[in-house]
Amino acid sequence: MEELIIIDAHSHLWLRQDTTWNGQAIRSLKNGRSLFLGEEVQMLSPFMIDGRNTAEVFLSCMDYAQVHAAVVVQEFIDGQQNGYLKTVSREHPDRFFCYAMADYLRPGFYEEALRLLAVDGFRGLAIPAHRLLGQSLCSDEMMKMFRLMEANDKMLSITLADGDEQVGQLREVIEECPRLKVAIGHLGMASPPTTPPWQNRSWQEQIKLARHRNVMIESGGITWLYNSEFYPFPSAIRAIREAAALVGFDKLMWGSDYPRTITAITYRMSYDFVVKSQELREDEKRLFLGENARRFYGFTQLPVLPYIKNMSE
């Protein structure tokens, strides 16, 4: 098989976690751990002893795993990382597409979004909408921002709450701004195999939004959603196939949710289960693992990443 182009459509970077959520602290500790909402958790791999989740460490992981490029999104629980990601975008333009994030929790965020896009040069905005359940995605200020993004060819990365609670709102945004490019995260928060039928979260309704021309679905965190099964994540493969049956493989992109997911598995394992699956055709794997993301995000100058064998091989 020819070399696969592999692009990670959902990852995170930060210099340090130092924020709060719902009044509880989130702080980087040592040895890859963080204080997270009153609990000490393994947020990073234990060799990341200083709590810094940097582009340089990620690039080393990407090169080793033969991942050509990555899309960096943002989340409130990590704190805003706009300053650092502006530097990453400048220093590594061929390897990273970095989204900015405004403080959507505060009225007046439109002006911040305008500065991030027009002055700081970000090519898109990330919205962790699952943490904005008390706000409407169709508010006057949100719609003003979306129209600005559409008019200036900026992109939107968005994660919705479980199920279809916010689907109607995002559909209204998409219909109002049909040229706005949208990437919906976490494979629509696909239901894990342990979810009883009577608790069906209707994740497929999120997937169906990709029937609109400029909307894509990325699978960031899918190994977390199906962590109870562990590698090779057979139900995750079935969820990918189910999503493809709804919108087609040309609408789906692989994402790892690096670095949190690689506390349980290696970075290569976060996509290798797709490569080795017997349930997907080779052309489907190519689209899902990289070709769709290369087209959607416009990656052109991708590096050549030769395989370096392990000493133990």
**DSSP annotation string for 202-228:** -THHHHHGGGSTTEEEE-TTHHHHTTT
pLDDT, mean over the chain: 94
Over range 49-72, report the average pLDDT: 97
Length of the chain: 313
Over range 45-52, report the average pLDDT: 94
The angle that helices 140-151 and 109-118 make with each other, rounded to 10 degrees, is 10
The per-residue pLDDT for range 140-178, each reduced to its tens digit, is 999 999 999 999 999 999 999 988 999 999 999 999 999
φ, ψ of residue 70 to 5 degrees: the values are -145, 150
C-alpha 7/C-alpha 256 separation (Å) is 10
The per-residue pLDDT for range 104-139, each reduced to its tens digit, is 999 999 999 999 999 999 999 999 999 999 899 999
Specify whether the CB–CB gap between 129 and 163 falls below 8 A. no
The per-residue pLDDT for range 201-240, each reduced to its tens digit, is 689 999 999 999 999 999 999 999 999 889 999 999 999 9
C-alpha 26/C-alpha 38 separation (Å) is 8
> What integer pLDDT is reported at residue 70 of this predicted model?
98
Over range 278-297, report the average pLDDT: 98
163: left (phi over 0), alpha (psi -120 to 50) or beta: left
Specify whether the CB–CB gap between 52 and 87 falls below 8 A. no
> What integer pLDDT is reported at residue 191 of this predicted model?
73
> What integer pLDDT is reported at residue 190 of this predicted model?
85
The per-residue pLDDT for range 171-208, each reduced to its tens digit, is 999 999 999 999 999 999 887 666 654 455 689 999 99
Instruction: Show the CA angle centred on residue 129, arms to residues 128 and 133, nearest 5°.
Output: 135
> What integer pLDDT is reported at residue 198 of this predicted model?
45
Over range 285-302, report the average pLDDT: 97
